[in-house]
Amino acid sequence: MRLQVTCEDRLGLTRELLAQLEDNRIDLRGIEIDVAGIIYLHLSDVDFASLQKLLPDLRRIAGVMDVKTVGYMPSEREHHEIQALMKALPDLVFALDIKGRLTQANDAVLNILRLSLKDIQGVQAGSFLKGFAFLQWLSSESPQPETCKLVFAGEEFLADILPIFIPDTQGVSHLAGAVVVLKSARRVGHHFNLLHSYDDSSFEQFTAESQVMQQLLHQARRFAMQDQPLLIMGETGSGKEMLVRACHRASLRANGPLLTLNCAALPDDVAEHELFGSAPGAFGPDWPGKKGLLEQASGGAFLLDEVAEMSPLLQSKLLRVLQDGRFHRVGQESEVTVDVRLYCTTRKSLGEQVRKGLFREDLFFRLNVLTLEMPTLRQRLADIMPLAQQFCSRISEELQRRRPRFSRSMTEFLNSYPWPGNVRQLKNALYQALTLLEGDELTPDVLRLPLMDAHESTAEQWFEGSLPEATKRFERLMLERLYPLYPSSRQLAQRLGLSHTAVANKLREYGLNKTEPV
């Protein structure tokens, strides 16, 4: 049991506390003074009846303001904090006493040694760490921090060796031991490259006013720095390849190439030849041989576009590449080794393809390590108008014409259209409209879009349930589409031809009302 005693800073108060414990026949296991006015007592287990008697006795001591039970002593909290930190650190950490003997080591060390902490405690550091005279350094008059190369478990590390000094009440520091932190050369090089090559600006090209897009880019920034396969799913035209290129530019492989193969565009034999290459003489005595795209991308990254369309033959060969980075060129017995990061995009569900027997399950699990799903434009309502404005500016500049303004009906239409072709469809529709536009205002009638398809894509939902239910669905959808376009519910009421009270009630009914006053 632990008690926290809040009290005055009075001479003799601690002695009186201990006397009360003795009178109550309670064993004291530890005492700590955290700051002036707070004393912690670590007691042996106390039953409820004894505790009920002890607490009032302690509170009656002059200068004691409060006594309460707590879960831990300050030293226990600090100990567990240090243990949690030691477990989380990827670097190897050792602690030594003033004789150079090991007292602590984190899990990263113990996992390599395959020993427990008890097995190494008391062992001289030099038994495990080669290349530094720890005992001589600790015996010097005033050991200073050192950085050097050490060998541990047969591998070379960069070591930071830090002395531990503890000051006494007179301000004099006494050597208590040392901490040794080992970093692998590969890890140091990784951090160096990270600092010098990371380019986060590659994601700034995306319009991300919507929350769903902001979340996607946050995840993409994290995934970009990894080296595992990245699978990006999403509808046609949603920007999957654009996201791949942004991730590549923000990765440690940014200086290497990014090559692409469209798995749906080529026959099986041609795709195999393009992907893995061919040996000299594979297609006749005059054939000089050819490096495949995977081999050309070594040191960089490779994109398999529409990977769900990949044939069973290519799937099996790709699985081998993912397992050990090796493959055979067409017509060649010797193996080729490559070092590439793999990106895959698909508009189909790979899980569904696996269930249908069209995609290898083992390959699916190899690819499904890091995944991102591009939201549709329908899910990015807040991005539609900013995207339209950006496209309009770029296209107008390309066509060397003055940028037109958007009519209110045009704004409403862009936000309400379902955009089955996503961002690409929006861009193409605006390009055609601006090419044909003769005036200075864009209106819905200049957009050539499959309106019937748009209605058909959502038609089934209007026939579900009763007429009042379908009416409410339509009413809610209309309010969801229009409300963001109007700064107040009064203006929305005017647009709909209703009273302000009626619109306010409907917004409240559907949970669409804003927090600001209307």
Mean pLDDT of the residues in the chain: 85
The string of pLDDT tens digits covering residues 223-258 is: 998 888 999 999 999 999 999 999 999 888 888 899
The string of pLDDT tens digits covering residues 357-382 is: 899 998 998 888 899 999 999 889 89
Query: Whole-model pTM?
Result: 0.55
Residues 6 or more apart whose CB falls under 8 angstroms from that of 261 comprise: 271, 274, 275, 293, 302, 303, 304, 305
Evaluate if residue 73 carries a pLDDT over 90: no
Evaluate if residue 171 carries a pLDDT over 80: no
Evaluate if residue 455 carries a pLDDT over 50: no
Question: Could you give the CA distance from residue 155 to residue 146 in angstroms, rounded to a whole number?
Answer: 19
Quick one: pLDDT at residue 517? 38
* 448 neighbors 425 (Cβ within 8 angstroms): no
Evaluate if residue 214 carries a pLDDT over 70: yes
Distances (CA, A) of 247 to 223, 251, 325, 412: 8, 6, 21, 34
Please compute the mean of the pLDDT values over residues 97-122 and round it to a whole number: 91
Quick one: pLDDT at residue 516? 41
Grade residue 100 by pLDDT with cuts at 50, 70 and 90. Answer: very high
In a 10 Å sphere around its CB, with 0-12 CB exposed, 13-18 middle and 19+ buried, how is residue 292 labelled? buried
Question: Could you give the CA distance from residue 121 to residue 106 in angstroms, rounded to a whole number?
Answer: 12
Distance of CA 466 to the CA centre of its chain: 45
Distance of CA 237 to the CA centre of its chain: 25
CB-CB neighbours of 253 under 10 Å? 22
Please compute the mean of the pLDDT values over residues 53-73 and round it to a whole number: 89
Residues 6 or more apart whose CB falls under 8 angstroms from that of 309 comprise: 263, 264
Quick one: pLDDT at residue 137? 94
Distance of CA 432 to the CA centre of its chain: 39
If DSSP codes are grouped into helix, strand and coil, which group holds residue 164?
Answer: strand
Q: Which pair of structure tokens corresponds to residue 444?
A: 């819905």
Quick one: pLDDT at residue 186? 59
* 477 neighbors 471 (Cβ within 8 angstroms): no
Q: Which of 384, 409, 429 is nearest to 437 (CA)?
A: 429
Residue 93 or residue 87, greater confidence: 93
Evaluate if residue 463 carries a pLDDT over 70: no
Evaluate if residue 477 carries a pLDDT over 60: yes
Distances (CA, A) of 339 to 40, 299, 326: 58, 5, 9
Quick one: pLDDT at residue 303? 93
Please compute the mean of the pLDDT values over residues 203-220 and round it to a whole number: 90
Share of residues in the chain with pLDDT > 70 (%):
91
Question: Could you give the CA distance from residue 256 to residue 241 in angstroms, rounded to a whole number?
Answer: 17
Quick one: pLDDT at residue 464? 58
Q: Which of 367, 257, 365, 362 is nearest to 306 (CA)?
A: 367
If DSSP codes are grouped into helix, strand and coil, which group holds residue 67?
Answer: strand
If DSSP codes are grouped into helix, strand and coil, which group holds residue 39?
Answer: strand
Quick one: pLDDT at residue 232? 95
Are β-strands 173-184 and 277-278 bridged in parallel, bridged antiparallel, or unpaired?
A: unpaired
Question: Could you give the CA distance from residue 345 to residue 306 in angstroms, rounded to a whole number?
Answer: 5
Quick one: pLDDT at residue 377? 92
CB burial readout 487-511, b (16+ within 10 A) else e: eebeebbeeeeeeeeebbebbeeee
Residue 77 or residue 127, greater confidence: 127
Q: Which pair of structure tokens corresponds to residue 20?
A: 């009360």
